[in-house]
Amino acid sequence: MIAFMVALAASTWLLAPARHHLRAPPHPRARAGAVPLCTAEPTRLMLVDDQDGLRNAVRSYLVHNGFKCDAFSGVAAAFDAISKGLLPDLIITDVLMPDIDGYQLLRRVRADPRLGGVPVVLLTAKGFSSDRIDGFNAGASAYVSKPFEPEELLSVINALLANARLAEVSVSHGSPRRSQPVQPPLRTRSYP
């Protein structure tokens, strides 16, 4: 009963329209020949979460805000879709899932040459700083703790997509770019 009430509240809460949107039409006085950050084609998101109510509510919210969102209940189903040619622009995943957790999904995404640069958002109830550190060390682009405001998730998605598009624009204009992602040295802070 409690799970149903949480799912119902989440779906009602997550369906409010957002005020800001990445795919706004280009400014009418945009410089001729400029590469727009927004596209006419909806951005494809992949959502992986084992909780049906939350997954459906988040998917509905994202679709309502103009995204194309493919939702999966587990990592195996998501990678099956990827193997069949579904290549998302951004992945949102829960961390705690029964078969394969979000950290393992993240490692598999970073190891796949087709997906290595795709932003990954960890959406989870694990909100301790050590959990966030583990997520960032595994290669997460962002970490959103549950419960969350839908506008926060939308802002994180929009910022990551804008940064990814800026990187694409700089590469297409001949800016120097490393062919391989840089792996920063792992530094941990020790406390006395």
> How far is it, in rounded angstroms, from Cα 170 to Cα 176?
8
Positive/negative CA dihedral, 108, 110, 116, 122: positive
> How far is it, in rounded angstroms, from Cα 85 to Cα 141?
23
Query: Which parts of the chain register pLDDT below 50?
Result: 1-38, 176-188, 190-192
Per-residue confidence (pLDDT) for residue 116, from 0 to 100: 73
Per-residue confidence (pLDDT) for residue 62, from 0 to 100: 95
- The H-assigned helical ranges of 44-149 are 52-64, 75-83, 102-111, 129-138
Per-residue confidence (pLDDT) for residue 101, from 0 to 100: 84
Per-residue confidence (pLDDT) for residue 11, from 0 to 100: 45
DSSP 8-class letter at 66: T
Segment 27-45, tens digit of pLDDT: 333 333 333 444 557 789 9
Per-residue confidence (pLDDT) for residue 46, from 0 to 100: 96
Does this model's pTM top 0.75?
no
> E strands, the chain, where?
44-48, 68-72, 90-93, 120-124, 142-145
Phi, psi angle pair for 112, to nearest 5°: -85, 120
Distance of CA 88 to the CA centre of its chain: 9
Residues written for the chain: 192
Per-residue confidence (pLDDT) for residue 4, from 0 to 100: 37
Segment 141-173, tens digit of pLDDT: 999 988 899 999 999 999 999 988 887 776 655
Q: Let me know: does 47 contact 72? Beta carbons within 8 Å.
A: yes
Q: Is 48 exposed, middle or buried (0-12, 13-18, 19+ CB in 10 A)?
A: buried
CATH superfamily ID and name for 41-172: Response regulator (3.40.50.2300)
User: Considering only CA atoms, which of 41, 16, 3 is closest in space to residue 149?
Assistant: 16
- Domain parsing of the chain, residue ranges: 41-172
Per-residue confidence (pLDDT) for residue 152, from 0 to 100: 94
Per-residue confidence (pLDDT) for residue 170, from 0 to 100: 62
The angle at the Cα of 68, spanning 65 to 70, to the nearest 5 degrees, equals 120
